[in-house]
Structure 1
Amino acid sequence: MTLGIAVMLSAAAVNCGSDGGQADEPGAAGPVEEPDEPVTITFSSWVGSEEGMQRLYEKFQEEHPNITVEFHDVPAEQARQKLTTQIAGGNPPDVAYVDASDVVTFASRDALVNLDGYLEHSDAIVPDDYVEAFRAFASYEDSFYGLPFDGESTGLFYRTDLFDEAGIEGPPTTWEQFQDAAETLTKPGEQQYGYQIFAPEAAYYWYPWLWQAGGELLSEDGSTVEFNSDAGKAAAELYAGLADVSAPDHLNSNSYDGRIAFANGQVAMYMAGAWFAGVLDEEFPDISDKWATAPLPEGDAGCATTIAGDALVIFAGTENADAAWTWIEFLGHPDNVAEWTFESEGTLLPPYQSLLDSPELIEAKPVLEGFAEAMTCGKGNVIHNPKWAEVEETLNEELGKAIYGEKTGAEAVDAAAEAANQILAE
């Protein structure tokens, strides 16, 4: 988190009060009743105009005709800053669809409504059914401040046609197999590379390697960094070395733009979330028979992958907390989560274990089977410390230097750890 964001959120917390400006804990009095008169709530998101969300809204209005949702669209890459500015100005929306990693950031600054009271009386939401990583995303200090809504695990996409040409049978399942395959598939003279890493997103895509090596980001009490342990250094060395099997032109790109390199056959293997399967089907249908997915290759510590997702939150100070809860409770009902995720056009996964285990998911989207199974070893990179964003930014910069050969992977994580410990101690 930058200092500016921290200051703005702190100022908002003073304005809102530690209890979010509510005289009593929202939802504590009992089940929410339908409003007697028309109520309008505002909903900030980058998905409000999508057909799937509008279908859900039509269903919602049939059940709750006195509640109108006013959709405020904001690009995904601008959402966090936009909400931060609105909070500081005292005019946030009633509800927002946010990156799940932002829940802790906002909750730690008293900018969100504590949902425990509502959940206690809800028949629609069963918190124990959430995958553990999603419960962690949506919680702060043992209370829920968001409802997980959709998500993904990270897997390996590979070009079956390039594997066949190289005589490689099936996707790699271990680090050693992965490195061998990446080297075999790298043919610079033909503009073909075995894998692709991205310096601007180095930290996020390094985390699975760290966890698979047996490393952790922080100590159990969260006071010191541990990503420069022996396991972390081994993971960083391997990761930085992947620049040798990556397309140089894409090292300074980003994971989403890199999809084109995979689609045109320039890159043979690619790490991405389940979202990428939907993108390939929609944007590159001509290669539908030339790619497949697999779990990430495992390190010495076994299976580990990154889980990401989105959540629904209510902002503190809202005058329409009950109506806002009615809206997000409706969206968070398992039936509606299923409709929004695997029953829709994309390839997002539901955060409920019961839905991940349902045969309907595989029947609807066979490509999601491996991603659903990987949820059992999935971990979130959300750290319940408002200073973590600054730490992560430092780690990202240092790993980026290693990718460009300015230092070794081990040197990079050592430098990042030294700076991170100072940040956490301030």
Structure 2
Amino acid sequence: MRKHLALAVAATAVLAGCGGGESAGSADGKADLRMTIWTSNEEHLALFDEIAAGYTETHPDVTVKFDPIPFESYTTTLTTQIAGGNGPDLAWVLEDSAPDFVGSGALTPLTETLQKTEGYELDDLSDSATALWKNDGDLYAYPFSTSPFGVFVNNDLLKEAGQKSVTGDWTWDEAFATAAKVHEETGEAGIVVRDFDFKGWGNLATVWTGWGARAWSEDGKTCEFNRPPMVAAMTALHQAVFEDEAMPGPGTTADFFAGDAAMTITQISRASLLEEGAFDWDLVPLPSGPSGDYSVVGQAGLGVLKQGANVAAAEEFLAYFTSPENSEKLAQFFPPARTSQLSAETMAKSNPLLSPEQLQAVVVEGIEGGVVKPSHTDSAQIAQTVRSSLDPLWKPGADVQGVLDGVCQQITPLLGS
């Protein structure tokens, strides 16, 4: 199991040699395309279907099916499909597994196709957005979403707890104190790191980066979980959960969008979950930490699987789906990689829920200076090892340094592999 993900995606390249390939497609031009995605949000799917319908109007022999897979099991399910010879034609790839997919030969290179597509404007894609998705100068996945994390705030709960409104100029000390007070006064949760739930540890980068911490060195070879910045960050987090009750503990669920929490850390694609008039809310940047202001970016790349039976058709649809016109539509939920569209004014046209000021502070400035969530080869094994090694941390009185030393002891052999 140690090489599960790496072997699964590498198997795609082998299978592609037996069938499929860059010019693969049915002889009569017909193609039934399947694209795996992690969202089942109705508004997201309606937009995808609208774009696909525009494509099939001029390509009547092509059908497009979007196949949602739950976020928490997305990569595992996708690689299982690939290893079983039942992979999709196109797939979202999450940033944590980008090195495996991009470097293994699982995806077909897109540069030539996109360069030849009339009006595509490949040069408009920013270098920072495409860096994770390139290998030897070729683009292997379109950076479908380059989305900084921000903090959604329930102003009604803050007011009920006698707390002042949050501004963009705030710190983690203030955030935890406000969150703890809300829980004390209202019984609702303080601050929630969405999609963490004491399992998805990668999302804690939205917190620990404020202390200057990171999971491993830039070259990916040295574990940094037990370095002083991470120890300090995890100590603050542990105190917020188990002593101050600023964050809900293990086994407690709190949905900000249902009004159950004062604050949640997530991306603007979640804004679609807000019900009009449910409560007064705001969106602000992440609090500054001991190391200063910072931003963390989550990415998803859209690629074409070499294993697919309709590679050429899939490449053509990808070019259409990510064209300048459709990129502007998708920006309603997924911040674009196109520099010409990355402005508050442009994004406000397709983001009626968010103000230009919110978009500028959280998205535009966040992308300009943000660091991407942790990624590494053999990501599935590393992710599971970190998760299990962190389990002892999520209880009162935990030895933070000892637990983090244990994380490094477990993953160091994997980092150099």
Deviations 1:145-179 (A, max 9, x none): 11122342211122212322444333161122223
User: Which letter does structure 2 place at the counterpart of 1:239?
Assistant: L
Query: Does structure 1 retain, via aligned residues, the 8 Å contact 2:36–2:67?
Result: yes
Segments of structure 2 that go 5 or more residues without pairing to the other structure are: none
Aligned twin of 2:414 = 423
User: Which letter does structure 1 place at the counterpart of 2:222?
Assistant: T
Task: Write the distance in 2 (CA, Å) between the matches of 1:68 and 1:364.
Answer: 28
SS at match of 2:62: strand
Query: 1:396 Cα shift?
Result: 3.0
Task: Write the distance in 2 (CA, Å) between the matches of 1:248 and 1:148.
Answer: 32
Give the one of 130, 141, 144 matched to 2:139: 144
SS at match of 1:237: helix
User: Which letter does structure 1 place at the counterpart of 2:259?
Assistant: N
Task: Write the distance in 1 (CA, Å) between the matches of 2:325 and 2:96.
Answer: 24
The change in CA–CA distance for 1:423 and 1:214 in structure 2 (over 3 A counts) is: same
Deviations 1:191-240 (A, max 9, x none): 23432355433522321232222223322322112232211111111122
User: Which letter does structure 2 place at the counterpart of 1:293?
Assistant: L
Between stretches 410-419 and 332-341, larger displacement belongs to: 410-419
User: Which letter does structure 2 place at the counterpart of 1:161?
Assistant: D
Query: 1:330 Cα shift?
Result: 0.4
Query: 1:20 Cα shift?
Result: 9.4
Segments of structure 1 that go 5 or more residues without pairing to the other structure are: 28-33
Give the % identical residues: 22
Aligned twin of 1:118 = 113
Task: Write the distance in 2 (CA, Å) between the matches of 1:75 and 1:85.
Answer: 12
Aligned twin of 1:352 = 338
Question: Does residue 1:273 correspond to 2:263, yes or no?
Answer: no
Deviations 1:97-139 (A, max 9, x none): 4435444332333211122332343444445543555313423
Q: Give the aligned length.
A: 401
Query: Does structure 2 retain, via aligned residues, the 8 Å contact 1:212–1:299?
Result: yes
User: Which letter does structure 2 place at the counterpart of 1:43?
Assistant: R
Between stretches 146-155 and 388-397, larger displacement belongs to: 388-397
SS at match of 2:373: coil
Query: 1:375 Cα shift?
Result: 1.9
User: Which letter does structure 2 place at the counterpart of 1:388?
Assistant: S
Task: Write the distance in 1 (CA, Å) between the matches of 2:312 and 2:349.
Answer: 37
Question: Does residue 1:396 correspond to 2:387, yes or no?
Answer: yes
Task: Write the distance in 1 (CA, Å) between the matches of 2:296 and 2:394.
Answer: 20
Aligned twin of 2:213 = 215
Query: Does structure 2 retain, via aligned residues, the 8 Å contact 1:186–1:245?
Result: no
User: Which letter does structure 1 place at the counterpart of 2:403?
Assistant: A
RMSD over aligned Cα atoms: 3.3
Task: Write the distance in 2 (CA, Å) between the matches of 1:294 and 1:273.
Answer: 11
Between stretches 414-423 and 207-216, larger displacement belongs to: 207-216
TM-score (norm 1): 0.81
Question: Does residue 1:69 correspond to 2:35, yes or no?
Answer: no
Question: Does residue 1:411 correspond to 2:405, yes or no?
Answer: no
Query: 1:408 Cα shift?
Result: 3.3
Task: Write the distance in 2 (CA, Å) between the matches of 1:353 and 1:411.
Answer: 44
Query: 1:96 Cα shift?
Result: 2.6
User: Which letter does structure 2 place at the counterpart of 1:210?
Assistant: W
